[in-house]
Chains A and B, each alone.
Chain A
C-alpha cells in the first residue's frame, strides 16, 4: 500500500495543531477556554476600560457603570505618601528614589563589596534623618554603644598589645562602658539641626514606609540570621538548643502575633520612662521575625558547603571564627542569594500586615484615602491599584531571582 503524501501545512496551522488541537481532549479544552474567555474578558474590559471614568469626578463615577480610576488620580499623593505633609513630600520621594536605586545597585552582583555596604550604612541613617527632619538629638546611649562596639571589634581583630590601635580601642571601650554605667545615658549631648520641619513617624506612610520597613528589615535581620544559623549548626548544645527554640517558635506563629507582641509588649519590657515609637516597634518585630526565616535559608547554604571545606579549615588549624568567616560563610552565602531574594519578596508582601497595628503603609494609605465619604465606594479600585504596584515590585524581583540562579549555576558550574 502506498503511503499518503504528508500534508503540508503552513507554519501557523502547524503551530495551532501542535499547541491547541493535538488531541480531541485538547481541542475540547481549547474550545471550552475560548468560550469562557469570550464570556469573561469583555465584561472585565468594559468594567476596567470602556465604561471606566478616569477623571477625578465622584458624580461621574457614580453615574458610570465601570471602574472609577479617577479615585486614584484624585488621591494619588495620599496613596503614595500617606499623611506626610503635602509640601514636604519631596522628602519621602527622595527617600524612595534613594532606596530603589540602592536596591537596584545591590541587585547587581558586580557592585558587591565594601563600598556598597558602606553606602548602605551611610544611607540608612541619612534616609531616617531626611524623613524625620527637625533637629536630630543623638542620645548618649547611641554614642556609648558605638564606642563599645568599636572597642569590641578592635579587640576581636587580634591586634598586638603594644599597638596604638589596641590601646585606642581599649580606651574607647572603657569610655563607652563608663558612659553606660554613669547616670543620664539618655541625655542628648549632640544636636543636629537639619533645617527641615519635623515630621513624626506617625505621619509617615505609603510606598516609602513599605520600602523602609522591608529594606531595613532584611538588612538588620541578616546579622542575627547568620548568628542563628551558625548557632543551630553549632556543636555546643546550649547554643544549639536556644537557636533551634528561637527559630522554631518564631516560624511556628503567625507574623501578626509577633507584631502584636512588638506593639503591645515592647513598652512593657522596657524600664518606665523609655518610649519606643510605633514604627520602630513594628520594625523591631519585623527584624526578629525575618531573622528566623532567613536563618533557615542560610542554614541550607551552610549544609550545601562540602564537608571537605570544614575539614580542610580544621586541618589548617583555623579558629572557629576564621573557619566560618573566611572559608564556610563566603561559600554558603553565595549559594543562598537566590532563595534570599525570594525570602525578601515574602517580607515585602508581609509588610502589608502593619496596617493591622495601625501604621499606614501602601495598603493602609489606600484605606485612609477611601475613608473620604465621597470616594468610599471606590475602595476596590484603590485596592486594585495597590495590588498592581505590589505585583510590579514582586514580579521584578522574582524574575531577577530566577536569572541570578541561572547565572550563579553557570559560574559555579553546578
Chain B
C-alpha cells in the first residue's frame, strides 16, 4: 500500500458521507450491537419474570448452605454437612484427577500406538492401525458406559465375597482393591526424596546440555539418574525408620476393607477417556512423524547415527512442532469429555453441579459455575501448551 502524505493544512476538510466506508463500519457495528443487546435484554427480562413466577431464588447465596448429599470419592475431607462450595471443589478435584491421569496415560499409549503404526513390522503396523481406526470411530460416552457395564457386571467379575486375591489384589465388581503401605513418616520422606531427586536430575541435565553446547562432549546421565531416583528415596525411607507394614485388603462381612480401592466408576471413565483419546493422539503422532522429510532420516543415517538416536534426536524434535498444536486440542477434549462421568456416576464437577441444580433449582447459576470452571481450565491448559509450543518451535536465524 502506498501512503500518500497530504500536505498539512492544505487539504480541505473531508466531508463524511453515509456511504463512506468508515461511517458505514460504525453504523453497522452500532446496529449489530443494539440487536445483540436487545436480544440479551429480552432474554434477561423473560428469565427474571419466569424465575419470579416459579419462586426460584437468584444469586450465589446457595453456595454457603449445607449440601446434604454424599459424594462417593473425595480427595479432600468432605461430609454431607459441608456446604455446596466444598462439594463443588470436591467435584472439581475429581475432574482434575481423572483428566490429569487420563492425559498422561493417553499420551504414553498414543505415542506408542502412533510410532507402532509406522513400524516395519507388518503385524505391529496392522494392529495399531486397527486400534486407531476402530476406537476413534466409537463415541467416547459409549466406551465409558461399556467399560462401566463390564466392570460392574457379575458375568465378568466376581463379587467381593467370591473374589480371590492375586498378589493381594482383589478384582471385584465393586472395584479393584490392592494393598498399600501403611501411612508412616518414612513413606512421606521417600516421596519428598523422590521429588527432590527429580528436581536435581532436571538441573543436572540442563547443566549437561550447556556443557555439550560449550565443549561438544557430554556424559550420559542414565546411570547417575537411575541412582539418584532410586537411591535418594530409599535413603530417606531407611533413615526414617524403614516402615514395612502394609495395609492388606481383607474380607469383612459382605465387603472388602483395608488397602486402597479403585472404584469401577473412576476406572470406567479413565479407561474410556484414555483409550478414545489415545487413538486420536496415535493418529496425530503418526502424521507428525510422516511430516518430517525423508531426507532428514537419510542424512542422519548417512552420518552413522543409530536408529534410536535418529528417532530421538532427529525425527521427534521436528515432528513435535507438527504434533503439539493438535495434541493441545486433544488434551482439552479429554478434559471436557471427563464431564461424561455423569453418565456412570463418577462424582466429577458436572455430576456434583447437577445434583446441586436438582436440589436448589438454580440451574442458571449451576451451569454458569461449570462453564466458568471449564473455561478457566481450558485457558490454563492452552496457555501452558502454547508456552511449550513456543519453546520447541523452530528458531529461525
Q: Residues on A close to B: CB < 8 A?
A: 18-20, 22, 26, 29-30, 33-34, 235-239, 242, 249, 252-257, 260-261, 264-265, 267-272, 345, 349-350, 352-353, 355-356, 363, 377, 379-380, 383-384, 386-387, 390-391, 394-395, 398
Contact = CB atoms under 8 A, between A and B. Distances in A.
Secondary structure of the B contact surface, majority rule:
helix
A256 B348 CA distance: 13
A354 to B, nearest CB: 10
Given A239-B32, A352-B142, A383-B149, 7 more contacts: A19-B121, A26-B120, A33-B123, A268-B47, A352-B139, A387-B146, A391-B134
Chain A to chain B: the 6 pairs with minimum beta-carbon distance, closest first:
A19-B122, A394-B137, A349-B139, A254-B336, A264-B363, A254-B339
Name the interface size band of chain B. Answer: 35 or more
Contacts of B142: 352, 363, 383, 386-387, 390
Contact of B367 (A238, A264, A349, A387): A264
Given A236-B25, A252-B374, A398-B133, A268 B51 contact: yes
B155 A265 contact: no
Contacts of B53: 272
Contacts of A352: 139, 141-142
Contacts of A18: 120
Contacts of B36: 242
A380 B150 contact: yes
21 contacts: A29-B121, A30-B123, A235-B25, A236-B29, A253-B370, A253-B375, A254-B339, A257-B367, A260-B354, A260-B370, A269-B46, A352-B139, A356-B340, A377-B153, A377-B155, A380-B149, A380-B153, A384-B146, A390-B137, A390-B142, A391-B137
Interface string B304-347: 00000000000000000000000000001000110110110000
A257 B370 contact: yes
B46 A350 contact: no
A387 B141 CA distance: 10
Contact of B141 (A22, A264, A363, A398): A363
Contacts of B342: 256, 356
Contacts of B137: 345, 349, 390-391, 394-395, 398
A86 to B, nearest CB: 26
B127 interface: yes
Contact of B364 (A265, A270, A383): A265
Contacts of A353: 141, 340
B43 A269 contact: yes
B33 interface: yes
B378 interface: yes
A355 B155 CA distance: 25
A55 to B, nearest CB: 18
B298 interface: no
A29 B337 CA distance: 34
Interface in B97-128: 119-124, 127
A390 B121 CA distance: 30
B146 A252 contact: no
Interface in B355-369: 357, 363-364, 367
B10 to A, nearest CB: 28
Given A268-B47, A352-B142, A257 B121 contact: no
B123 A272 contact: no
Contacts of B374: 252-254, 257
Contacts of A252: 332, 371, 374-375, 378-379
Nearest to A264: B363
A211 B150 CA distance: 28
B367 A260 contact: yes
Contacts of B139: 349-350, 352, 363, 390
B171 interface: no
A390 B135 CA distance: 11
A18 B146 CA distance: 39
Contacts of A395: 133, 137
B123 A34 contact: yes
A383 B146 CA distance: 6
A377 B123 contact: no
Nearest to B49: A272
B384 interface: no
A383 B145 contact: yes
Contacts of A379: 149, 153
B27 to A, nearest CB: 10
Nearest to B33: A238
Contacts of A268: 46-47, 50-51, 363-364
